[in-house]
Every structure is written in C-alpha cells, then in structure tokens.
Amino acid sequence: MNITFLGTAAATSYPLAFCRCDFCNKARELGGKDFRKRSSIIINNDLLIDFGPDVLSASFTYGKSIADIRYLLQTHSHSDHFDPSHFTTRIPEYMGVNTPQLQLYGSEATLKKMSEMVKNEGYVSDIFDPKEKKRLNLEIFPIKPFQTFNFGNYQVTAFSTDHDNSIDSLLYSITEGDFSIFYGTDTDTLSEDVWQGIKDKNLKFNVVILDHTYGPNADSGGHLNANRFIEHIQRFKAENLLTDNARILATHISHEGNPTHDELSKYASQYGYEIGYDGLTI
C-alpha cells in the first residue's frame, strides 16, 4: 500500500490567512513542511479520502492524477473536506474526455448534504437521480457505522464519530492484503463503541492517522488535542491494536497550539508518534 498525504491542515489551513501569531508568522518564514493544505490522502493511485478544496493543487504538486481515482471515501461534507465545484466538472458540459466511473462512499446524511452542495453549483439537480448519476458517471453507496464493504483490492470498515451528528461523519479502516490503516480525522475522543468495533472486526493497524487539530494543552473542543492524541496512542497499544513497528501520524493540524513542524515533531517523538506533512508518502 502506498499512502500520500495531499494535505495535513485543519479547516483553516496553516498558516491561517489573516493571523499574525508566532506560529503563523514562523510558518510563513519557513515554508516547506510548515505550509499545510486541507487534509486528504490518496491510497495507491485509485482511492481518495475526502475531495477537499486543495486536492487538485496538491495532486499537481505531488504527481498524483485525480483522473486515476476510482473510489472516493468521504468522511463528511464540511467545506474543507468536499469541494463541489471540482466535483461538478465530471458532467459532459465541461468537455471532459474518458471521465472514469467513480464510486462514492459516505453516510447517507453526508451524501445528501453533498448533493445539496453540488446542486448549488447550478448544473446538477440531485446526485441520487439516475439521470444525473449517468451524467456524472457516478455510483453512490450510502454506508453506516460499523459496516464493512469491499471494492477493488480493498476491504473498508466505517466507524462513527461525534464530529457532526447532523451529517453522520465517519472514520475508516482500509485493508489491502495484510496491510491495514486507520484514518481518523475530524474526531474527538473515540467512543467505546468504536474501540469495541475495531476489536470485533479483528483489526490491527500498520498505520494510524489521527486528528491533531489542537496542540499540547490547547483545546477548542470537537477535535483531538495533543494530550488526548497521546492517550489514544497509549490505548491502541494497550488494546493490542497495532502491528509490530506500526507508525502513528498526526494530521488535521491547526495553528492553535501546534508550533512549527520541526518543533512539533520533537514533541511528538517523545510520545512515539510522527507529524504528517503535505507530500509525505508511506
């Protein structure tokens, strides 16, 4: 399995557009790993998690063709994770050639919200409508928490999160062969149901990618901070949910308490995890 981080920032990107805090100022000065686009990853060349507003620019930068994507796992429909303007270009009126079929997976509430967002672009009335699905060359699969499903070479399980109950946000495990990852962005503390669900599915992870929106001792709620992130690492280990030499990476990073990449990496190394960065490939 090949995993490429297209973005590792929270909703506001990093640095924040109009902010002059020490972290944002230093990020502008340093550039490189301190410039973060909104969070998304590509697995191999055919599976995308979250079609956000920075996906195209990131794909150009890191040599990943979105035209090769066959499967889209959508965690939820917030604007930093779904960009309807790029999605709408799948229709024939944009003169795309050989647009491949796309299989879209997400909770029913998220998919319905995505349909509203696409409708607001003015070209597609309802992505659930059979005629519109044909125009978009799109298959849609509503999924529920703790449902396991297969496509291509992958087995995927969805897990619940309390990030936004109105759209039933989801987390995902993805297995290819004997390699499994857990992608848990946009979540606060994982529920006991999620921990039990992972064990019930007999999952062990080679890579865990977790929300790290807030830094050490910083917290605005609704996401993990560094302190709770570390507690999760400890529980993954205590529950024997990691393979030998598993890697744990932080993503969805904001300027709220998270210093520059190098500084945050030094902090993370003390607790056995890594800080993801845009363009990182595993």
282 residues of the chain, pLDDT tens digit each: 999 999 999 999 999 999 999 999 999 999 999 999 999 999 999 999 999 999 999 999 999 999 999 999 999 999 999 999 999 999 999 999 999 999 999 999 999 999 999 999 999 999 999 999 999 999 999 999 999 999 999 999 999 998 999 999 999 999 999 999 999 999 999 999 999 999 999 999 999 999 999 999 999 889 999 999 999 999 999 999 999 999 999 999 999 999 999 999 999 999 999 999 999 999
Output the pTM of the full model. Answer: 0.97
CA distance 231 to 199: 18
- Do residues 154 and 119 make contact, with C-beta atoms less than 8 angstroms apart? no
DSSP string, 166-183: TTT-EEEEEEETTEEEEE
CA distance 183 to 180: 10
